[in-house]
């Protein structure tokens, strides 16, 4: 493991956590997006992350892509909505706000942990440079 692997590994974690928070933010922003019943509902986006070079000590993580929730959504009776069909129904995404808030907290904590690792490694590297001066 080289000296700067900690920075690279934690940096990959920061990137993955940022993508995760972006997806959760999009999901929360569209939780009340109504569509007509003949259209697909907004699809929840979930980020897929995988280990890179697992076990080598030099890997980190990488964003492997995204998975999408159901486009079927849920039908809600809102006859006053301009998008309502003849029976008075509109389609909303099937996204659970509690689950999204939990994921947001997890992503934020993970982001903070990776940032803390970078900060500690940077402090240790600076201290090692100071030893070389004296």
Backbone angles phi, psi at 96, to 5 degrees: -90, 115
pLDDT score of 133 more than 80: no
- Among 131, 128, 130, 121, CA closest to 1: 121
> In degrees, to the nearest 5, what angle opens at C-alpha 34 toward C-alphas 47 and 80?
165
Q: What is the pTM of this model?
A: 0.84
Res 57: pLDDT: 62
CA distance 79 to 105: 36
State pLDDT tens for residues 60-96.
Answer: 899 999 999 999 999 999 999 999 999 999 999 999 9
For 16-27, write each residue's pLDDT tens digit: 999 999 999 999
């Amino acid at each position: 493991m080289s000296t700067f692997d900690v920075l690279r590994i934690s940096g990959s974690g920061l990137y993955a956590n940022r993508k995760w928070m972006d997806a959760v933010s999009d999901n929360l922003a569209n939780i009340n997006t109504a569509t007509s019943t003949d259209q697909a509902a907004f699809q929840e986006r979930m980020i897929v992350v995988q280990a890179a070079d697992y076990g080598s000590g030099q890997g980190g993580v990488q964003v492997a892509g995204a998975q999408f929730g159901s486009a079927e959504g849920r039908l809600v009776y809102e006859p006053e909505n301009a998008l309502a069909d003849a029976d008075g129904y509109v389609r909303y995404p099937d996204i659970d706000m509690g689950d999204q808030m939990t994921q947001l907290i997890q992503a934020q904590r993970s982001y903070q942990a990776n940032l803390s690792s970078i900060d500690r490694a940077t402090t240790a590297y600076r201290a090692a440079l100071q030893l070389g001066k004296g």
